[in-house]
Structure formats: structure tokens, C-alpha cells
Amino acid sequence: MLAKLKGQKVLVHFIDGTLADGGILEDFDDKYIKYTTEYQELYIPITSVREIKFNLKERERPKVGFG
């Protein structure tokens, strides 16, 4: 599953409720994920990750009103 996310910009949600945002999933193995942002390079243990998501742009809501 992680192979499809390799090289993509993703959000990493951790078990404790925090998240890492704005980085790219560079590499992974059976114990660690290499996650690189503009400022730092993180080696995250897989056991601390709750989920990994694409950072999708939020849908723009239609404007309601009379014009």
C-alpha cells in the first residue's frame, strides 16, 4: 500500500493525535518511513503511525445569496 504513496505529498497522522504536514513520503521499509519536508527529514517508526492521507484541496462551497 505504501508503494503507491512513495514520492507523493502526504499527511501523516500519529497515534497521539498529532500530524506531520507538507512533506513527501520518500522511502519506507518494514520498520520506518522516511518523510521529508522543506526544513527537515523525519524517520518515523511505522508503529507510531495511525494513517497516511493525501493532502487534497478542500472543495470550494457554492456561494449562496442573491446577486
Count the domains in the chain. Answer: 1
CATH code at position 41: 2.30.30.100
- Predicted confidence at residue 27, as pLDDT, reads 92
For residue 29, CA distances in Å to 8, 23, 50, 61 come to: 16, 18, 16, 40
What's the whole-model pTM score?
A: 0.74
Q: Domain for residue 29, yes or no?
A: yes
Q: Domain for residue 42, yes or no?
A: yes
Q: Domain for residue 30, yes or no?
A: yes
26: region left, alpha or beta (phi > 0 left; psi from -120 to 50 alpha): alpha
Q: Domain for residue 47, yes or no?
A: yes
- Predicted confidence at residue 2, as pLDDT, reads 78
Q: Domain for residue 63, yes or no?
A: no
Q: Domain for residue 60, yes or no?
A: no
One digit per residue, pLDDT tens: the chain, 67 residues? Answer: 778 889 989 999 999 999 998 899 999 999 999 999 999 999 999 999 999 988 666 777 777 766 5
Kindly list the strands in the beta sheet with 49-54, ordered across the sheet, starting from the edge strand earlier in the chain.
41-45, 32-36, 19-28, 9-14, 49-54
